């Protein structure tokens, strides 16, 4: 038994609070339930336009978890999730996603929803086979496949070669202020440009090749319903982050993802289906603190959007994606000229970005706590790992690390 406090090394939290993770998952579930009531959303069983069986690849944290929660608890869908997590033992902690998945499965079962979570490498054909066998066992087909994988490595299923992704600018170094979210200290950090096969390897890991392979194998196995749709997630962001993100190695991967969406969309036409990339809002992630400019930009953004009442976390974004984009009253999906769903519309609102432009150059060590939402980004950083979650008593001993009670 022990009291668990966050262990932070080099701006990365390396442990998780089991009860905090479970409570955060529960809070997200309660949010979408309230939205279901507020919006008057009807599940398929209630005669509404809604998905019945959903596959979420990368289901354990962030946008993937929020998508699965929305599908299940607002739209009444049975779900299969895939993520690769470290399990907790009686004395050693697991990854946050492992606890999130346990909480999701428990609440789904309580609500009478079918759920199954695979703790497997989603890039492997073995995982695809297991998912196909499970949905056939259920005797149903997927009408929505959410692709939300983010991994530093991927093994090619054909060649067995391991590829590594990197977050680097292309062509020249990129530098800027690096904000430590816990201390508020600002340092200058520089990222060196991509070398050798960095871009190609990152595209191999984070691009659309694996997504395309998933849809191809699901379609060949006849486990996609008539009208089945798939959505993958991307980010464009502001001009500040373009050199390190949109125009960098990860941006090259996201552009590949967006290009392959057109191929997948064409392949689903025979099922009256469609494929989309949803461009989402910038959020604090486990790596935000170690990328130049990102944490400071998000601190500015959050402050402005909270003042305007338009700030969203993962669950608010995904709930809006489902209700105002994917499952609209007229059954049409609003997209931009490149067939992308833009749920980053509030972040990239010209007035919001104009406000960001006013604040960003003026942030210093002395005024950082007043000019940006330092408290808000710190809270989000901690909450990813189950800390600083409303409704949790962190002074209490946690008896075991393999349960969420």
- What are the tens digits of pLDDT across the range 143-192? 999 999 988 999 999 999 999 999 999 999 999 998 988 889 999 989 99
- The burial class, CB within 10 Å (0-12 / 13-18 / 19+), for 207 is buried
Angstrom distance (rounded) from CA 160 to CA 178: 37
Please check whether residue 292 is in contact with residue 178, taking contact to mean a CB–CB distance below 8 angstroms.
yes
Residue 66's pLDDT band, with cuts at 50, 70 and 90, is: very high
The catalytically annotated residue of 63, 99, 235, 245 is: 245
pLDDT, average across residues 42-54: 97
- Answer whether residue 80 shows pLDDT above 90: yes
pLDDT at 10: 76
pLDDT tens for each residue of 209-252? 999 999 999 999 999 999 999 999 999 999 999 999 999 999 99
For 132-148, what is each residue's pLDDT tens digit?
999 999 999 999 999 99
**pLDDT for residue 239:** 92
Burial of residue 96, with CB atoms counted within 10 A of its CB: 0-12 exposed, 13-18 middle, 19 or more buried: buried
Quick one: pLDDT at residue 44?
97
Confidence of residue 292 (pLDDT cuts 50, 70, 90): confident
Q: For residue 153, what are the β-bridge partners?
A: 164
Assign 388 a pLDDT band (cuts: 50, 70, 90): very high
Question: Catalytic annotation on 245?
Answer: yes
For the stretch 86-143, pLDDT in tens is 999 999 999 999 999 999 999 999 999 999 999 999 999 999 999 999 999 999 999 9
Which residue's structure tokens are 């998508």? 67
Total residues belonging to the chain: 405
- The DSSP secondary-structure symbol of 322 reads I
For 401, the token pair is 């690390």
pLDDT at 291: 80
Closest Cα to residue 67, out of 214, 57, 285? 57
Q: What is the pLDDT of residue 140?
A: 98
Say yes or no to pLDDT of 312 above 70.
Answer: yes
Statement: residue 1 has pLDDT above 80: no
Phi, psi of 262 (to 5 degrees): -65, -40
pLDDT of 362-385, one tens digit each?
999 999 999 999 999 999 999 999
Phi-psi region of 328 (alpha: psi -120 to 50; beta: other; left: phi over 0): beta
Specify the pTM.
Answer: 0.97
- Band (pLDDT 50/70/90 cuts) for residue 83 is very high
Q: Could you tell me the two tokens for 112? A: 């009478």
Which residues have C-beta within 8 Å of that of residue 308, sequence separation ≥ 6? 352
Q: Which residue has the tokens 């904000």?
A: 179
Helix, strand, coil % in the chain, rounded to nearest 5 = 40, 15, 40
pLDDT at 289: 65
Q: What is the mean pLDDT of the chain?
A: 96
- Read off the pLDDT of each residue in 274-289 and give the average, rounded to a whole number: 88
């Amino acid at each position: 038994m022990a009291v668990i406090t966050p262990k932070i090394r080099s701006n990365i939290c390396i442990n998780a609070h089991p009860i905090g993770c479970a409570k955060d998952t529960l809070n997200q579930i309660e949010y979408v339930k309230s939205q279901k009531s507020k919006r008057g959303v009807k599940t398929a069983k209630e005669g509404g336009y809604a998905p019945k069986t959903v596959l979420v690849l990368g289901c354990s944290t962030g946008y993937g978890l929020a998508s699965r929660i929305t599908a299940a608890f607002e739209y009444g869908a049975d779900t299969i999730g895939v993520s690769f997590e470290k399990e907790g033992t009686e004395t050693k902690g697991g990854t946050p996603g492992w606890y999130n998945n346990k909480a999701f499965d428990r609440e789904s079962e309580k609500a009478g929803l079918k759920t199954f979570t695979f703790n497997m490498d989603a890039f492997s054909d073995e995982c695809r086979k297991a998912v196909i066998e499970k949905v056939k066992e259920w005797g149903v087909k997927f009408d929505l496949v959410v692709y939300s994988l983010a991994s530093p490595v991927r093994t090619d299923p054909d060649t067995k070669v391991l590829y590594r992704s990197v977050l680097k600018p292309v062509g020249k170094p990129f530098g800027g202020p690096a904000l430590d979210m816990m201390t508020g200290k600002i340092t200058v950090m520089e990222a060196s440009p991509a070398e050798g096969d960095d871009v190609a390897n990152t595209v191999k890991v984070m691009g659309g090749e694996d997504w395309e392979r998933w849809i191809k194998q699901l379609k060949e196995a006849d486990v996609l319903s008539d009208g089945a749709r798939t959505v993958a997630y991307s980010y464009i962001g502001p001009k500040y982050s373009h050199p390190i993100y949109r125009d960098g190695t990860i941006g090259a991967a996201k552009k590949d993802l967006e290009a392959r969406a057109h191929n997948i969309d064409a392949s689903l036409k025979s099922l009256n289906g469609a494929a989309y990339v949803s461009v989402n809002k910038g959020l604090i992630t486990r790596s935000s603190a170690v990328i130049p400019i990102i944490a400071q930009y998000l601190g500015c953004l959050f402050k402005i959007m909270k003042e305007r009442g338009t700030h969203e976390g993962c669950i608010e974004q995904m709930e809006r994606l489902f209700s105002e984009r994917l499952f609209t009253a007229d059954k049409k999906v609003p997209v931009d000229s490149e067939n992308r769903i833009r749920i980053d519309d509030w972040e990239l609102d010209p007035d919001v970005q104009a406000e960001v432009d006013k604040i960003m150059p003026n942030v210093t060590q002395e005024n950082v706590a007043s000019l940006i939402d330092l408290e808000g980004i710190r809270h989000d950083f901690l909450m990813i790992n189950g800390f600083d979650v409303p409704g949790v008593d962190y002074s209490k001993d946690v008896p075991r690390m393999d349960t969420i009670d």
